[in-house]
């Protein structure tokens, strides 16, 4: 009897089994890049199933993602350190394909799987890469959720305009 994802996650979070652990898969893509890069922290190449039932090959890389917290301004920024020692030349060439003055963000999809089942992600977060810093052997990536409403809409309320707001300030 196969368990659904919600039941499996509940069992994993409650019992914390020693033989099952979360696996993070990062997928980098851009229209100027020749391929989509799928990376994980495991020491071997493997395959996972992404949305739509597509099986993709994942390459090993030393990654250290820091999941976004909830700062006061609610700007959810993910910080990722990526060791490019093994993939340095190929990854650098792919980044060089992206024009400097483009308005299109590089797309990053953060997925988490349970180690016992790589056929369904337990979490999937589409992100836009804000900045990339490259140094010898390492890359620093800052990504955030897509900002669909960049223009401010609506009206700003101030206590001088609406005196009843003073009780909430």
Share of the chain above pLDDT 70, in %: 85
C-alpha separations of 12 from 66, 151, 153 in Å: 21, 41, 42
Contact 159, 140 (CB under 8 A): no
The residue among 8, 2, 15 whose CA lies nearest residue 121 is: 8
Per-residue pLDDT reduced to its tens digit, 109-118: 999 988 888 8
Per-residue pLDDT reduced to its tens digit, 140-150: 888 888 766 55
């Amino acid at each position: 009897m196969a368990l659904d994802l919600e039941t499996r996650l509940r069992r994993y979070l409650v019992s914390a089994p020693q033989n099952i652990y979360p696996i993070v898969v990062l997928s980098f893509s851009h229209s100027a890049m020749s391929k989509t890069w799928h990376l994980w922290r495991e020491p071997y190449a493997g395959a996972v199933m992404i949305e739509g039932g597509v099986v993709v090959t994942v390459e090993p890389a030393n990654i250290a993602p820091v999941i976004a917290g909830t700062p006061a301004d609610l700007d959810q920024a993910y910080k990722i350190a990526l060791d490019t020692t093994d993939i340095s030349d190929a990854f650098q060439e792919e980044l060089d394909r992206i024009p400097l003055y483009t308005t299109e963000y590089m797309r990053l999809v953060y997925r988490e799987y349970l180690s016992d089942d790589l056929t369904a992600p337990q979490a999937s977060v589409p992100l836009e890469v804000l900045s990339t810093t490259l140094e010898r052997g390492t890359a620093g990536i800052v990504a955030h959720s897509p900002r669909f409403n960049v223009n401010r809409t609506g009206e700003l309320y101030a206590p001088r305009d609406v005196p009843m707001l003073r009780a909430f300030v």
